[in-house]
């Protein structure tokens, strides 16, 4: 029996759809949820870093959460990012997300002038005390600027069982996954980082993935194959997709690439990213289509000029 229903699961970090004028494209939220569920994901995570969350107002957050939950109709798990530099605001975001129907929360550590374990522990304890749903601790020092040790994360999970879920993104992720699994055998560990090291993360003890990708069904397949004991099959699937995973993960344009793919696949109507981000350059799009065609994924895309 699995330790937890979240185990061996593929959660996709979904983008926030915008219309060309920058407003929230509510119709595309519904089509995107249907698209992702149809691809077999076990969960959808909204309002993460790659969801352009820093460009959203509080009312927009509520609108997006409500629309995603409504479109989902309880079919898969909905995880909502509720990170904030202030503990009170993160608690408020977390309680509001649960009120709107979130099944889980994703919370990154707050940036502190002088990071210390006591302050971080108090932050997570306050959130855990305010809600009853799982809290996925996002360990991504590149975006948060905060390093959390294996001992800190293991102790936090023991002190606050609601925090016994980890989105492990401190590189090198496979090595930390091994140490984390040894320190907290029952912890639910998700890989991330755009699936760059997904295969190795699974080999080192990760239970699944919580990350974004323009072809989420590939990550679903890798996790399913690995969970079924088909390591060779998972390896073959991963290696075949690696060129596209690598290309999409380019810093600064990764979200724009993912949105472009989603739009080309009919999941959302527009690939718009809010300012100050810019649309993709023509040569980036040309290279992307070349990779997708060479990998045999072109049947899922519209024509290059569409």
Asked if residue 300 has pLDDT above 80, the reply is: no
pLDDT digits (tens, 9 = 90+) for 165-201: 999 999 999 999 999 999 999 999 999 999 999 999 9
Beta partners for residue 119, in sequence order = none
Beta partners for residue 167, in sequence order = 138, 190
Beta partners for residue 43, in sequence order = 11, 77
Q: Is the dihedral of CA 302, 43, 48, 153 positive or negative?
A: negative
| Structural domains present in the chain | 10-230 (3.20.20.70)
DSSP state of 119: H
Using CA atoms, how far apart are residues 46 and 44, in angstroms rounded to an integer? 6
Q: Is the dihedral of CA 60, 132, 220, 149 positive or negative?
A: positive
Q: What is the 3-state secondary structure (H, E, C) of 192-241?
A: CHHHCCHHHHHHCCCCEEEECCCCHHHHHHHHHHHHCCCHHHHHHHHHHH
CB 11 within 8 A of CB 79: yes
Q: What is the mean pLDDT of residues 117-134?
A: 97
pLDDT digits (tens, 9 = 90+) for 99-124: 999 999 999 999 888 879 999 999 99
Beta partners for residue 10, in sequence order = 209
Using CA atoms, how far apart are residues 71 and 83, in angstroms rounded to an integer? 23
pLDDT digits (tens, 9 = 90+) for 239-284: 999 999 999 999 999 999 999 999 999 999 999 999 999 899 999 9
How many residues comprise the chain?
Answer: 306
pLDDT digits (tens, 9 = 90+) for 1-58: 345 566 558 999 999 999 999 999 999 999 999 999 999 999 999 999 889 999 999 9
CB 219 within 8 A of CB 244: no
What's the predicted TM-score (pTM) here?
0.94
In this structure, are strands 165-168 and 208-211 parallel, antiparallel, or unpaired? unpaired
Using CA atoms, how far apart are residues 243 and 291, in angstroms rounded to an integer? 7
Query: Which pLDDT value is given to residue 8?
Result: 59
């Amino acid at each position: 029996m699995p330790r937890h229903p979240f185990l061996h699961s593929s959660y996709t970090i979904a983008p926030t759809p915008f219309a060309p004028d920058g407003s929230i494209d509510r119709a595309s939220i519904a089509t995107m949820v249907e698209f992702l569920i149809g691809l077999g994901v076990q969960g959808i995570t909204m309002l993460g870093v790659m969801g352009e969350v820093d460009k959203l107002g509080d009312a927009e957050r509520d609108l997006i959460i409500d629309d995603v939950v409504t479109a989902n109709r309880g079919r898969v798990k909905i995880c909502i990012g509720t990170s904030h530099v202030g503990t009170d605001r993160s608690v408020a975001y977390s309680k509001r997300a649960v009120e709107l129907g979130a099944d889980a929360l994703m919370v990154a550590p707050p940036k502190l002038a002088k990071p210390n374990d006591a302050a971080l522990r108090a932050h997570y304890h306050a959130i855990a005390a305010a809600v009853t749903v799982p809290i996925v601790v996002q360990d991504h020092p590149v975006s948060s600027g905060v390093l959390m040790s294996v001992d800190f994360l293991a102790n936090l999970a023991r002190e606050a069982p609601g925090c016994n879920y980890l989105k492990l993104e401190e590189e090198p992720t496979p090595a930390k996954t091994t140490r984390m699994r040894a320190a907290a055998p029952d912890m639910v560990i998700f890989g991330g980082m755009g699936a760059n090291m997904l295969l190795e993360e699974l080999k080192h003890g990760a239970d699944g993935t919580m990350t974004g990708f323009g072809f989420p069904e590939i990550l679903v397949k890798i996790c399913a194959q690995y969970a079924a004991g088909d390591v060779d099959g998972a390896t073959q699937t991963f290696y075949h997709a690696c060129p596209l995973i690598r290309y999409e993960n380019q810093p600064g344009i990764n979200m724009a690439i993912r949105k472009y793919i989603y739009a080309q696949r009919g999941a959302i109507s527009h690939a718009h990213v809010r300012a100050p981000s810019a649309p993709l350059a023509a040569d980036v799009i040309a290279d992307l289509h070349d990779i997708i065609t060479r990998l045999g994924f072109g049947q899922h895309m519209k024509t290059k000029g569409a």
